[in-house]
Amino acid sequence: MAAITDEQVETVRALVASVPSGAVTTYGDIADAAGLPSPRIVAWIMRTDSSDLPWHRVIRASGRPAPHLATRQLERLRAEGVLARDGRIALAEYRHTF
């Protein structure tokens, strides 16, 4: 089985790192840009690989970060200029496309 390649992981990291402050992106976008077969893979990379990358700029398609990190990420994003409405981020406004 192909499993995932280091290159794919590195691509994901590069994409996340390329997201400017004040902008956010979704797992699906990263997965698509990195050529990953499923967005879940992106989540797996984040969970396993703890890097200095701004993971807080990566949110779900619903415009809402993960439940356990939501509070932290939302606060961090707010500090960067990403205003959340009712705990939800305006993807249409802050979504960063590659």
Partner DNA sequence: TTGGTGACTTATT
Partner DNA sequence: TAATAAGCCACCA
13 near DNA, judged by CB under 7 A:
no
77 near DNA, judged by CB under 7 A:
no
27 near DNA, judged by CB under 7 A:
yes
| Residue 60 CB, nearest approach to DNA (Å) | 3
How far from 17 is each of 23, 57, 98, CA to CA, in Å?
11, 9, 12
Cα distance between residue 95 and residue 37, in whole Å: 21
| Chosen residue from 6, 52, 68, 92 binding DNA by CB under 7 A | 68
What's the token pair of residue 89? 């981020």
47 near DNA, judged by CB under 7 A:
yes
| Chosen residue from 11, 23, 28, 54 binding DNA by CB under 7 A | 28
| Residue 80 CB, nearest approach to DNA (Å) | 16
Instruction: Say which residue the tokens 């990566």 belong to.
Output: 58
Cα distance between residue 87 and residue 71, in whole Å: 8
Cα distance between residue 95 and residue 90, in whole Å: 8
Q: Which residues bind DNA (CB under 7 A)?
A: 1-4, 26-28, 37-44, 46-48, 50, 55, 58, 60-62, 66-69
